[in-house]
Amino acid sequence: MASPFLNYISEQMRLKRYAKRTIQSYVYWIKAYINFNGHRHPISCHDREVEQFLSYLTNKLDVAANTQGIALNALVFLYKAILLKPLTLELNFNKSKQHTKLPVVLTQAEVTTLLTKVVSRYVLPCQLMYGSGLRLMEVVRLRIQDIDFDFHAIQIWQGKGGKNRRVTLAKELCESLKVQISMVKSMYQQDQLTPDYKGVWLPFALARKYPSASNDVQWHYLFPSNRLSKDPETDFVRRHHIDETSLRKAVKLAAKNGGIDKNVTCHTLRHSFATHLLQRGADIRTVQEQLGHTDIRTTQIYTHVIEHGANGVRSPLSDLF
């Protein structure tokens, strides 16, 4: 059972409109910090204990730099917004120097195999992750109105880092998407017959700005859940999007059944999208825009994937044959 203190932190973050996953992540690291300090209340700790905890994450747990950064952000929030005792800007701890690994990339033949092995319900989401370079949460959060058939584009709202972008839509998926939208509209008509149905969930600002939008089918999720559920914040009956965990498992299973001997995840499809675009001669700036990267150095990791393989340096062994 969660402590009253952690419940209070969760509630304060909800009031400040933090995303659900951010709340879960921050509470996780704050709890880990409390456990590390022998269950002492954080009010009795400060800079020194935070430094020791962050160094412990690197020295003992060998966490990635991003993971250590999330833990630091959680503790900065704790001391600034909850305890009103901000940490110093000059914390002295052992920063993680774990290098980013090269992404796992599938060949086009492997992508084809994967898509043929995915359970039918998840084929279209997987095709969008590979065909448009979408992240897992970007694809499950798509709304009907985000699909632009006229210009063969997809509008991504509030992606990673709160950024919006437009990405390419493969023309070959248009008919499948129209069938999917027709199915969603039929489901929507059925939901209207449920007396306590309150429409789809909308972010707080949009819900205030467009009070009737929650019952507009265009705002409904492109990939809805099979059943209605209660919104945990309001107890309203709604239809949420498909569970991202189920999609993850479906991709893992498809890779296994397809005999693909690589560590395949949903993000592998996005990595493959970027790598294959570059292999076809796409400009790196174009790929950067499609992926929504702020820094082009993030995109350049895919050039390393290409250059470290047969498309880059020629092996001297090849001259012996």
Q: What gap in Å lies between CA 239 and CA 223, rounded to an integer?
A: 10
Closest CA to 272 of 165, 162, 166, 114: 114
| The one catalytic residue among 117, 239, 271, 293 | 293
How far is 48 from 44, CA to CA, in rounded Å?
11
Whether residue 1 is predicted with pLDDT greater than 70 in this model: the reply is no
Name the band, by pLDDT with cuts 50, 70 and 90, for residue 122: very high
Q: What is the DSSP string of 107-150?
A: -HHHHHHHHHHS-GGGHHHHHHHHHH---HHHHHT-BGGGEETT
Please identify which of the residues 160, 163, 185, 256 carries the catalytic annotation. 160
Residue 270: in which H helix or E strand, if any? Answer: helix 266-279
- Is residue 270 part of the annotated active site? The answer reads yes
The predicted structure's pLDDT at residue 176: 97
Told to judge if 185 belongs to the known catalytic residues of this protein, a careful annotator would answer no
Choosing from 26, 33, 197, 302, which is the catalytic residue? 302
Q: Where are the alpha helices (DSSP H) in the chain?
A: 4-15, 20-36, 47-59, 65-77, 108-117, 123-132, 136-140, 174-191, 204-209, 244-257, 266-279, 284-291, 296-299, 301-307
User: Mean pLDDT across the stretch 19-35?
Assistant: 93
How is residue 221 annotated by DSSP? B
Provide the pLDDT for residue 319.
Answer: 76
Positive or negative: CA dihedral 88, 90, 92, 95:
positive
- Once rounded to an integer, what is the mean pLDDT over residues 1-8? 85
pLDDT at 188: 95
Cβ neighbors of 248 (< 8 A, separation 6 or more) are 136, 265, 266
Task: Over range 169-174, report the average pLDDT.
Answer: 96
Q: Is 135 a catalytic residue?
A: yes
DSSP class of 215: G
- Catalytic, out of 117, 198, 238, 270: 270
For the chain, give the percent of residues with pLDDT over 70.
95
256-275 pLDDT, tens digit per residue, is 999 999 999 999 999 999 99
Kindly report the length of the chain.
321
CA distance 272 to 268: 6
Q: Which of 95, 165, 248, 267 is catalytic?
A: 267
Indicate the average pLDDT of the chain.
91
User: CA gyration radius for the chain?
Assistant: 23
Q: Is 267 a catalytic residue?
A: yes
Is residue 293 annotated as part of the catalytic site, yes or no? yes
Q: Which of 135, 141, 143, 276 is catalytic?
A: 135
pLDDT at 102: 81
Residue 105 identity (one-letter amino acid): V
The mean pLDDT of 10-21, rounded to a whole number, is 85
The pLDDT score that the predictor gives to residue 16 is 83
Q: What is the maximum alpha-carbon separation in the chain? A: 76
Once rounded to an integer, what is the mean pLDDT over residues 185-196? 94
Q: How confident is the model at residue 320 (pLDDT cuts 50, 70, 90)?
A: confident
C-beta neighbour count of 4 within 10 angstroms: 8
Active site residue 314: no
How does DSSP classify residue 314? P
**21-31: average pLDDT:** 94
C-alpha to C-alpha distance for 214 and 70, rounded to whole angstroms = 33
Nearest to 129 by CA among 242, 240, 235: 242
Amino acid found at 87? L
pTM of the predicted model, to two decimals? 0.82
Per-residue model confidence as pLDDT tens digits over 47-86: 999 999 999 999 999 898 889 999 999 999 999 999 999 9
Sign of the Cα pseudo-torsion (159, 161, 163, 167, in order) = negative
At residue 21, does pLDDT exceed 90? no
Q: Which residue has the higher pLDDT, 65 or 171?
A: 171
Given a contact cutoff of 8 angstroms between Cβ atoms, the answer to whether 268 and 231 are in contact is no
Q: How far is CA 185 from CA 136, 193, 197, 222, 240, in A?
A: 23, 13, 15, 10, 14
* Over residues 79-99, mean pLDDT: 88
Q: Which of 165, 170, 159 is nearest to 289 (CA)?
A: 165
pLDDT tens digit sequence for 210-260 = 888 999 999 999 999 999 999 887 889 999 999 999 999 999 999 999 999
Q: Which DSSP state fits 258?
A: T
pLDDT confidence bin for 209, thresholds 50/70/90 = confident
Q: In the beta sheet, which residues pair with residue 166?
A: 155
Q: What is the pLDDT of residue 211?
A: 85
Confidence of residue 98 (pLDDT cuts 50, 70, 90): low
Q: Give the domains, in start order, of the chain with CATH numbers.
A: 4-82 (1.10.150.130), 108-304 (1.10.443.10)
